[in-house]
Amino acid sequence: MSKTLDQIVYPGSDQYAPEELTAPGTIPLELHGEPLIRAVDTAYILFQVPNLDRQQAFLQDFGLMTVESSDKTLYMRGYGRAPYIYEVCKGYTEKFLGVGFLVESEDALNSLANKLGETITNIEGPGGGKRLRLNDPDGFWVDLVVGREMVAPLDTRRDALPVNIPAKKTRINRGQRTALAPSAVERFGHYVLMVSDFERSWKWYRQHLGLLPTDVLCTGTGQPVLSFCRLDNGELPSDHHTLVLSGGPEAKYMHSAFETIDQDAIGQGQQFLKMKGWNHFWGLGRHILGSQIFDYWLDPHGFEVEHYADGDVFDNRHPTQYHLFDRGGLWAWGNDVPAAMKPKPTLKLIMMAMFGSRSQKKLLSGLGRAISYAPRPWLK
Ligand SMILES: [Fe+2]
């Protein structure tokens, strides 16, 4: 049996009964055998929005660069080697469409396409390549990609800043001056989905991307309800999570996150975005699971996007850890989660609690209890 990580301690975490704290891990998340294929990196994220110009203006202030744009589609890159990491097409409504992943080999992709009876198509965007477009159980696209032509990274600061600590002063006769500028995004790091059936989605993503569960959150009865999933790159370390799957009353995009160099870049980037009048959402802070320094924004169409830096990485030997699901475990320091992130008793939720299936009712009651605790005793 797995046990809870003892470093997840925050003011208020002592409010749980011993049986609630020992329940996580009693129902393990199954790996469902060998996956059909393995993803090795993120490629891009895909959206549809009504106003491409406004989306582009925000994304440029957020730290992405335009690669190609037309009145139908916009391709944006980061400062890293990917030809683009963000594709958005014009449409009547705003919509999250899906995500592309680089997979281990073309042979593996061909064999999966044959097995599924699906067709591999050419990618039209910059860098080309081929993709197999799949639909996850909730209908979101998952593109399995090979053969993209990588590009030269763009010039930006990639070294740590010299930091003075009490016992060691390395920066002498000069100040710490970072530019007021967009926080240069290096790469597309991860995304978070609420899924309508957690078990079903976990099984699908495990089989089609080869994900490993890094940290799994459970209700007080031990039922897994959320998983931080990382890529399996063998002995090479992968980000703590590339995809987070969270069980819930509906399927929806929660947020996507873009890696930058460090806290100073994120802080100056926050100042820059505020100066431009965009909508700040949450941060700065540091997460507990994954440890990232984070800062969340709302794009002009209401999608949450995150800058992050200094996240944890794990290789494939790191065992899955199980924890109690609650709001307080989301962050180590920083402000409380914004009101918009707190669950509201919507009509849909109430109907589901009254008339939903047995498993839906069980999930809602477990989640309801988990999120009913005040995350910090001094916060309302
Ligand atoms: Fe995130």
Q: In angstroms, what is the span from residue 59 Cα to ligand 1's centroid?
A: 17
Q: In angstroms, what is the span from residue 259 Cα to ligand 1's centroid?
A: 10
pLDDT in tens for each of the 380 residues of the chain? 444 444 566 666 777 777 777 888 899 999 999 999 999 999 999 999 999 999 999 999 999 999 999 999 999 999 999 999 999 999 999 999 999 999 999 999 999 999 999 999 999 999 999 999 999 999 999 999 999 999 999 999 999 999 999 999 999 999 999 999 999 999 999 999 999 999 999 999 999 999 999 999 998 889 999 999 999 999 999 999 999 999 998 999 999 999 999 999 999 999 999 999 999 999 999 999 999 999 999 999 999 999 999 999 999 999 999 998 887 888 889 988 887 776 666 666 666 666 667 666 666 666 666 666 666 767 75
Q: In angstroms, what is the span from residue 70 Cα to ligand 1's centroid?
A: 30
Q: In angstroms, what is the span from residue 281 Cα to ligand 1's centroid?
A: 13
Q: In angstroms, what is the span from residue 243 Cα to ligand 1's centroid?
A: 9
Q: In angstroms, what is the span from residue 137 Cα to ligand 1's centroid?
A: 22
Q: In angstroms, what is the span from residue 244 Cα to ligand 1's centroid?
A: 8
**Residue whose C-alpha is closest to residue 298's, from 117, 15, 62:** 62
Q: In angstroms, what is the span from residue 346 Cα to ligand 1's centroid?
A: 24
Q: In angstroms, what is the span from residue 172 Cα to ligand 1's centroid?
A: 36
Q: What is the pTM of this model?
A: 0.93
Q: In angstroms, what is the span from residue 170 Cα to ligand 1's centroid?
A: 32
